[in-house]
Chain A
Amino acid sequence: MSDELDEIQAIFFEECTEGLAAAEEGLSAMQNGDTSADTIASVFRAVHSIKGGAGAFGHTALTHFAHSFENVLDAVRGGKIEPTLPLVRVMLIAFDLLSDHVSAATGQAGVPEDGEMIARLEAILANGGLADDGEDATPAAQAPAPAAPATEAPAGEEDPFGFQPVTVAIEELDGESGGPADWTVRFTPGDADLANAGEPMLVIREVESLGGEIVAVDVGDLPALRDIDTEAAYFGWTLRVPGTVEESAIRDCFDFVSPEALVEITREEAGAIVADAVPEPAVEQEAALPDVRAQVDPSADLDQMLSMVQSIAEATTIAPSAPPAPEADKANKFADKPSEMVSQTIRVDLAKLDMLLNLVGELVIRNSILSDRLSSADAQRVELPELARLTRQIQDNVMSLRAQPIRQAFSRVPRMLRDLGAETGKTINLETIGETTEVDKGVIEKIGDPLTHMIRNAADHGIESAEERIAAGKSPDGTIRLSAEQKGARIFVRVKDDGRGINREKVLAKAVERGIVPADAQLSNEEIDQLICAPGFSTADTISNISGRGVGMDVVRSNVEALGGRVEIASVPGEGTTFTMILPLTLAILDGMIVRLAGQRFVLPLAHVIETVQPEKGQVKRTTPNTEVIEMRGEYLPVKRATEIFGLNDDRSIEDSLVVIVESETAGHVGLMVDTIDDRREVVIKSLDQNLHPIRGLGGATILGDGSIALILDIEALVASPTQTRFAPKGLAA
Chain B
Amino acid sequence: MSNTDTVADRKIVTFTLGKQIFGIDMTSLIEIREWEDPTPLPSVPPFIKGVTNLRGNVIPVVGLSERLGWEPSVIHPRSCILVVSISGKQAGFLVDEVTDIVAIGSQEVQPAPDVEIGEPSVIQGLVRITARGADGTKSEEGQMVLLLDLDALSLTKHLDLAA
Contact = CB atoms under 8 A, between A and B. Distances in A.
Contacts of B159: 692-693
A734 B43 CA distance: 6
B43 A703 contact: no
Nearest to B89: A691
A469 interface: no
Pairs A-B, 7 closest by C-beta atoms: A646-B42, A734-B163, A709-B39, A686-B58, A701-B58, A692-B60, A691-B89
Interface of B: 38-44, 48, 51-53, 56-60, 89-91, 155-156, 159-160, 162-163
B57 A686 contact: yes
12 contacts: A686-B56, A688-B51, A688-B58, A692-B156, A693-B156, A693-B159, A695-B41, A701-B51, A709-B52, A711-B39, A711-B51, A730-B163
Given A686-B57, A688-B58, A693-B156, A647 B42 contact: yes
Residue with the highest number of chain A CB atoms closer than 10 Å, among B38, B40, B42, B53: B42
B59 A695 contact: no
A117 B42 CA distance: 58
Given A692-B91, A709-B51, 8 more contacts: A688-B41, A692-B155, A692-B156, A695-B42, A696-B43, A709-B53, A709-B58, A711-B39
Most B CB contacts (10 A, CB to CB) among A687, A690, A693 go to: A693
Nearest to A642: B42
A691 B58 contact: yes
Contacts of B90: 691
A690 B156 CA distance: 10
B40 A600 contact: yes
Contacts of B57: 686, 690-691
B52 to A, nearest CB: 7
Instruction: Select the residue from B52, B89, B163 with max chain A CB neighbours within 10 A.
Output: B163
Instruction: Describe A's contact surface by its main secondary structure.
Output: loop
B39 A695 contact: no
Interface in A675-726: 686-688, 690-693, 695-698, 700-701, 703, 707-711
**Residue among A647, A691, A730 having the largest count of chain B Cβ atoms under 10 Å:** A691
Contacts of A693: 155-156, 159-160, 163
A645 B60 CA distance: 21
Interface in A509-524: none
Given A690-B57, A690-B89, A692-B60, A710 B160 contact: no
A600 B39 contact: yes
A732 B57 CA distance: 24
Contacts of A733: 43
Contacts of B42: 645-648, 695, 697-698, 711
Nearest to B59: A691
Interface residues of A, number: 29
Q: Which of B38, B48, B53, B89 has the most CB of A within 10 A?
A: B53
A693 B41 CA distance: 12
Contacts of B48: 692
Nearest to A704: B53
A39 interface: no
Contacts of A600: 39-40
Contacts of A688: 41, 51, 58
B39 A707 contact: no
B75 to A, nearest CB: 18
B87 to A, nearest CB: 11
A197 to B, nearest CB: 66
Interface in A589-633: 600
Given A688-B51, A690-B89, A703-B53, A710 B155 contact: no
A238 B58 CA distance: 64
A686 B41 CA distance: 14
A229 B71 CA distance: 94
Nearest to A701: B58
B85 to A, nearest CB: 10
A691 B92 CA distance: 10
A185 B44 CA distance: 77
A578 interface: no
* Among B48, B51, B52, B60: residue with most chain A CB under 10 A: B51
B58 to A, nearest CB: 4
Given A690-B58, A730-B163, A647 B43 contact: yes
A647 B43 CA distance: 8
A685 B160 CA distance: 23
A732 B43 CA distance: 6
B102 to A, nearest CB: 28
Contacts of A730: 163
Nearest to A688: B58
A49 interface: no
Given A691-B89, A692-B155, A701-B51, A710 B56 contact: no
A698 B59 CA distance: 15
A732 B44 CA distance: 10
Nearest to A696: B43
Nearest to B162: A734
A648 B59 CA distance: 21
A715 to B, nearest CB: 15
A696 B59 CA distance: 17
Contacts of A692: 48, 51, 60, 89, 91, 155-156, 159
A358 interface: yes
Contacts of A698: 41-42
B160 A703 contact: no
B38 to A, nearest CB: 8
A496 B156 CA distance: 35
Nearest to A597: B42
A45 to B, nearest CB: 37
A700 B91 CA distance: 16
Nearest to B42: A646
A82 B159 CA distance: 61
A709 B56 CA distance: 10
A291 B11 CA distance: 77
A712 to B, nearest CB: 11
A713 B51 CA distance: 15
A710 B53 CA distance: 10
B49 to A, nearest CB: 12
Contacts of A711: 39, 41-42, 51
Contacts of A690: 57-58, 89
A648 B44 CA distance: 12
A541 B91 CA distance: 40
A645 B57 CA distance: 26
B43 A695 contact: yes
A695 B40 CA distance: 12
A710 B41 CA distance: 10
A605 B44 CA distance: 22
Contacts of B52: 709
A32 to B, nearest CB: 43
B60 to A, nearest CB: 5
B39 A701 contact: yes
Contacts of B39: 600, 701, 708-711
A708 B60 contact: no
Interface in A28-72: none
A692 B44 CA distance: 10
A600 B52 CA distance: 14
A688 B40 CA distance: 13
Nearest to B39: A709
Contacts of B160: 693
A352 to B, nearest CB: 14
A733 B162 CA distance: 10
Contacts of A358: 56
B84 to A, nearest CB: 11
A688 B89 CA distance: 11
B88 to A, nearest CB: 9
